[in-house]
Amino acid sequence: MDFELPHELALVQETARAFARDHLRPRDREFESARAVAPHVHHLYRDLGLAGLELPEALGGAGQGALARAVVNEELAAADAGAALALDPLGPALYPLIAFGGEGALRAQALPLLERSGARAVLALDLLPRLQTAGGRARGVLPWVPADRVDLLVVLERERAYVVREGLGLTPLRGAALRAAGAAELHVDGAASPADWVSTPRARWALAHARVYVASLLLGVMRASTEFSRAYAMERVAFGRPIAHHQALAFLISDMASALDGARLLVQEAAWRLDRAAGLAGEPDIDDEAEACATAFLEAAEAALFVTPNGVQILGGHGFMQDYPVEKWMREARALSLLLGGVDAAREDAGRALLGDAHPLALDPAWRSAGPGAA
């Protein structure tokens, strides 16, 4: 059993780390205030090949898989999770296109976005559903999407997916987090196509990939919080020694690091499982992979919601000041944990897979309307 990244993937990781260190972290407050990432940073991101990381080589992409994206996302989110979302023109919206439409859908829907600076695709996991489809049109309102521009909306339901390219109106919002990506209420009134993207296994495949995508962003946020609060605790002196040397804080920092490492193992294993099962000949059978991805998302979200508030706590009153970044990471962890139905949707899917039940568990359905599902 080898836990080292392959050499090629380690090089991709180092490229993403250097990019995030040099171009995202020093300007995170600037991007948050502007609610946008500087155009030249978008261009550099594309020039490095990170925008097409998972696209097939035949379409000009790098041909990498879920593990590569997870590694890159962690590095970017450790600098600025909002910028990580803003920079990726396809984001998790890529996965329904691959699952249902293959290279044809990628060529028609994804490639045009890569050619336009600042273009964004948004994935909406619509379980209620909030959007109603009748007469070939989708109508409804998504209360929050982490974007200030939507060129392509990809809607994923339990059994089908469809895309909307027109009739997308945005009402800007002042979001609590991920501000570099933007925030808006999305009004939808446009043609929904195609009508034949119906397949529960393919929908599960797409959702599994999307969960790993978001979970890897959570890894970056909690890693940043853990590393910063540890460094602060080593420098801050109280009662004649660094506060990290006091037992209560030492135990807390240890718990934070353990939560991070455990979540990373689950996320990277889930990504590895998806890559191993790659290839959608016929209807994919990914019961084990879907369970692993739901569990990884659940663990990453709950770990981040433990780590990041404690990062603020370690800094005391300084933790709530924008002079220090830990409050930003706490906000980002909360926002990311709400995506794709949040922890309750992931917990239900993981439980259903473990129990071998093809039907939703008898849980209170109120969680379905508690938060947004767009990413």
| Pair (43, 183) in one structural domain | no
| Pair (280, 358) in one structural domain | yes
Residue 172 lies in a domain: yes
Helix, strand, coil content of the chain in percent (nearest 5): 60, 15, 25
Distances (CA, A) of 133 to 101, 126, 140, 191, 288: 20, 12, 9, 9, 32
Q: Is residue 223 classed exposed, middle or buried when 0-12, 13-18 and 19+ CB atoms within 10 A define those classes? A: buried
| Pair (72, 154) in one structural domain | no
- Phi-psi region at 167: left, alpha or beta (left = phi > 0; alpha = psi -120 to 50): left
Q: Report the CATH number at residue 154.
A: 2.40.110.10
Output the pTM of the full model.
Answer: 0.93
- Count of structural domains, the chain: 3
Q: pLDDT tens across 227-279, in order?
A: 999 999 998 888 888 888 888 899 999 999 999 999 999 999 999 999 998 85
Q: pLDDT tens across 144-179, in order?
A: 999 999 999 999 999 999 999 999 999 999 888 999
| Rg from Cα positions in the chain | 20
| Pair (364, 234) in one structural domain | yes
Q: Are 229 and 315 in contact (CB under 8 A)?
A: yes
- Cα(245)–Cα(239) distance, rounded to whole angstroms? 10
Sign (positive/negative) of CA torsion 43, 175, 310, 254?
negative
Q: Are 144 and 177 in contact (CB under 8 A)?
A: no
| Pair (178, 219) in one structural domain | no
Q: What is the mean pLDDT of residues 19-32?
A: 97
Sign (positive/negative) of CA torsion 173, 177, 179, 182?
negative
Most distant pair of Cα atoms in the chain: their distance: 73
Would you tell me how many other CB atoms lie within 10 Å of the CB of residue 192?
Answer: 23
| Pair (21, 78) in one structural domain | yes
Closest to 74 (Cα-Cα) out of 152, 4, 146, 14: 14
The overall average pLDDT reported for the chain is 91
Residue 362 lies in a domain: yes
Q: Report the CATH number at residue 243.
A: 1.20.140.10
369 pLDDT tier (thresholds 50, 70, 90)? very low
Residue with tokens 């898989």: 65
Helix 66-87 to helix 7-19 angle (10° resolution) is 10
Q: Which domain holds residue 33?
A: 7-93
Distances (CA, A) of 364 to 116, 124, 303, 372: 43, 22, 24, 17
What is the pLDDT at residue 71? 98
What is the pLDDT at residue 163? 96
- Cα(339)–Cα(99) distance, rounded to whole angstroms? 20
| Pair (334, 248) in one structural domain | yes
Q: pLDDT tens across 298-314, in order?
A: 999 999 999 999 999 99
Q: Are 156 and 189 in contact (CB under 8 A)?
A: no
Residue 303 lies in a domain: yes
Q: pLDDT tens across 93-120, in order?
A: 999 999 999 999 999 999 999 988 889 9
Q: Are 311 and 228 in contact (CB under 8 A)?
A: yes
| Pair (283, 358) in one structural domain | yes
| Pair (206, 189) in one structural domain | no
Instruction: Examine the fold and report which residue of 158, 193, 228 is the final residue of a domain before the chain moves on.
Output: 193
Q: Report the CATH number at residue 26.
A: 1.10.540.10
| Pair (360, 230) in one structural domain | yes
Instruction: Examine the fold and report which residue of 165, 193, 221 is the final residue of a domain before the chain moves on.
Output: 193
Residue 105 lies in a domain: no
Instruction: Examine the fold and report which residue of 77, 93, 109 is the final residue of a domain before the chain moves on.
Output: 93
> What are the φ/ψ torsions at residue 265 (nearest 5 degrees)?
-60, -45
> What are the φ/ψ torsions at residue 358 (nearest 5 degrees)?
-80, -5
Residue 256 lies in a domain: yes
Residue 108 lies in a domain: no
Residue 171 lies in a domain: yes
Q: Are 21 and 96 in contact (CB under 8 A)?
A: no
3-state secondary structure of 62: coil
| Pair (231, 131) in one structural domain | no
191 pLDDT tier (thresholds 50, 70, 90)? very high
First to last CA, the chain: 34
Q: Are 95 and 210 in contact (CB under 8 A)?
A: yes
Residue 275 lies in a domain: yes
| Pair (171, 263) in one structural domain | no
